[in-house]
Amino acid sequence: MNFPTILASHGAFGLNLNPFETNIINLAIVIFALYKFLPNFLGGILERRRAAILTELTDAETRLAAASESLAQAQQGLAEAQKKAEQIRADGKARAQAIRLENEKRTIEEMARLKQGSAADLQSEAARVTNQLRREAARLAIEKALASLPGKLDADGQAQLLNQSIQNLGNA
């Protein structure tokens, strides 16, 4: 056998350091060339990718900040609006209460007035009717008395009546 196979003893694992047999020189050149050019090429791509990602991240962050700011603003506005709404509701309630009370009071007064008026009406009517009845009764009595008077009245009776009347006056 020739030189390389002496070094590479058969039948066992080992190292083969023959530079020609292992093609190590060419491999070294290839690896060196790759080492020289690949990082430039691949590194450029990777760096661009990283830059793009970072820009996107910053963009997203600014958008997030802007969005949270407007959210906070909107929340503040919402709180204000709620407060306002609460106030308006309270005002409304108070006004409704006041109006209701007023109405009740007015109604009660009105009812009292009506009652009073009707009672007064009734009383005056009753007085009027009583008066009329009394007058009528008096008129009838006088008529009757005038009718029966000429028959019954003689001198004795007149004197007696006079006496009685005088006595009555004396008693009174």
Query: Which tokens is 111 given?
Result: 């009812």
What one-character DSSP code corresponds to residue 8? Answer: S
Contact pick of 32, 44, 56, 57 for another protein (by CB under 8 A): 57
Binding region for another protein (CB under 8 A) out of 8-16, 74-82, 90-98, 145-153:
8-16
**Does 13 interact with another protein (rule: CB under 8 A)?**
yes
- Asked if 60 touches another protein (CB under 8 A), the answer is no
Q: Give the shortest CB-81-to-another protein separation in angstroms.
A: 38
Nearer to another protein, 42 or 90 (CB): 42
Give the CA count within 13 Å in the CB-facing half-sphere of 103: 6
CB of 40 to another protein, least distance (A): 14
If we measure between CA atoms, which residue out of 24, 17, 23 comes closest to residue 4?
17
Question: How far apart are alpha carbons 139 and 1 in whole angstroms?
Answer: 180
Q: Which of 32, 54, 92, 140 binds another protein (CB under 8 A)?
A: 54
How far apart (Å, rounded) are the C-alpha atoms in residues 129 and 126?
Answer: 5
Alpha-carbon distances, residue 62 vs 50, 56, 73, 146 (angstroms): 18, 10, 16, 123
- Using rule CB under 8 A, residue 159 touches another protein: no
Residues that bind another protein (CB under 8 A): 2-5, 8-18, 20-27, 29-31, 33-34, 42, 45-46, 49-50, 53-54, 57
